[in-house]
Structure 1
Amino acid sequence: MVSIGRYIRNIRRSGVKKWMRDMMYIGDAKYGQCVGQDQFGNKYYENLNPEDELPGRHRWVDFAQHDFNATQVPAEWHSWLHHIRHQPPPQDTVMQNLSPPWKGPWVENLTGTRGAYKPYNTAAAKINPWAPKVAPRNST
C-alpha cells in the first residue's frame, strides 16, 4: 500500500538522499535493515514491519551498478530473496558450509553484450561460395 504517510516515514528514516536514489532506481520508497552484501557490492535489505511493506515485498536488493539486471544476483542471495532460504547467506550455516569443489567464480549472463559467448566452427564448409575469376582484358 503506497501512501503519503509511508513516503514521509521512509524519508525520515533513511534521509532525503537515499529516498531519492530509491525512487530513481527501484521506483519505491523502502526502508529496512541491511542483512548483507555480496562480492559485487549489491546490498540486500529486509523489513519485517507489516505496516511498512506488503507481504512478499519485504526483501529487496540495491544494485551497486546503475545498469543492472537480475543475473547480477548470485544464486545464494537469489534463494534468500525468493524465500527459498529463511536466513540470509552470511547467517545461514548450511550455505556457509556448502562450497562444492567444482564451483567456479560466479559470472553474470553476458548475452547481448560484447562479452557473449560466440562459438566457432572447426569443420570444413559443406557449401563453398562462388568466387568469380577475373581475367585481364586484351588492350590492342
Structure 2
Amino acid sequence: MVSLLRTIRNARRVGLREWWRQLNYIGDAKSGKYIGSDQFGNRYFENRNGEEEVPGRHRWVDFAQHDFNATQVPPEWHSWIHHIRKEPPTNDSVVQNLSPPWKAPYIENLTGTRGAYKSYNTVVPKINAWDPKVKARA
C-alpha cells in the first residue's frame, strides 16, 4: 500500500506525462531535485526525503537515449551516484579543476555496436583454404 501511495504522490508531483515516461523507462515513479546534466544530455536527480525512497536509491539518472547502458554515465557522475563523492560534479571544486592529462573527451563503450574497435590483422593465416589447380587437357 505504501508503494501505491508513493506512486500516486509522485505522479501528482511530476505530472502524468513524466510519470508515464518514468514507468516505461526506469520502471518506477520518482520525484526529486534536479542536480545537473552531463555532455550526453543525461539528467541527474536526488531525493533526500528518507521515508519515500529505499536507502541507497535516492540518487538516479534519467538517460537521454532510449537505448541506454551504464557506460553512458561519465566517471564523475558515476562516483556521485554511487556515493563515492558527497558533492555532485557541478558543486565539487576538485572535479571541476580536474582535467585528464591527455585532454580526451569521455566516450561510451561501443562494444557490440557498429562503432566498436576492430583491429587490423597482420598475421599470415596458418591454414589456407584449398585452391584446386586445374590443368588444361590436351
TM range (shorter): over 0.9
The list of structure 1 runs, each at least 4 consecutive aligned residues, that deviate by more than 2 angstroms after superposition, is 123-130, 134-138
List gaps (5 residues or longer) in structure 1: none
Distance 2:35 2:52 in 1: 17
Aligned to 1:68: 68
Code of the aligned partner of 2:100: P
Residues in 2 aligned to 1:129 and 1:49: alpha-carbon distance in whole angstroms = 67
User: What's the CA shift for 1:131?
Assistant: 1.5
- 2:79 alignment partner AA: S
Match of 2:90 in 1: 90
Residue 80, structure 1, aligned to residue 108, structure 2: no
Using the size of structure 2 for normalisation, the TM-score is 0.93
Q: Distance in 1 between matches of 2:54 and 2:60?
A: 12
Q: How many pairs were matched up?
A: 138
Aligned to 2:20: 20
TM-score after normalising by structure 1? 0.91
CA shift, 1:123, in A, is 3.3
Shift of 1:25: 0.2
Q: Is residue 80 of structure 2 the alignment partner of residue 100 of structure 1?
A: no
| Rg (Cα) greater in structure | 1
Give 1:133 deviation, angstroms: 1.1
CA distance in 1, matches of 2:56, 2:27: 17
Q: For the residues of structure 1 that align with 2:137 and 2:68, how far apart are their CA atoms?
A: 61
What residue in structure 2 maps to residue 57 of structure 1?
57
Q: How much identity, in percent, do the aligned residues show?
A: 69
Measure how far apart 1:127 and its partner are: 3.9
Q: What's the counterpart of residue 119 of structure 1?
A: 119
Cα RMSD for the two superposed structures = 1.6
Is the counterpart of residue 36 in structure 1 residue 45 in structure 2? no
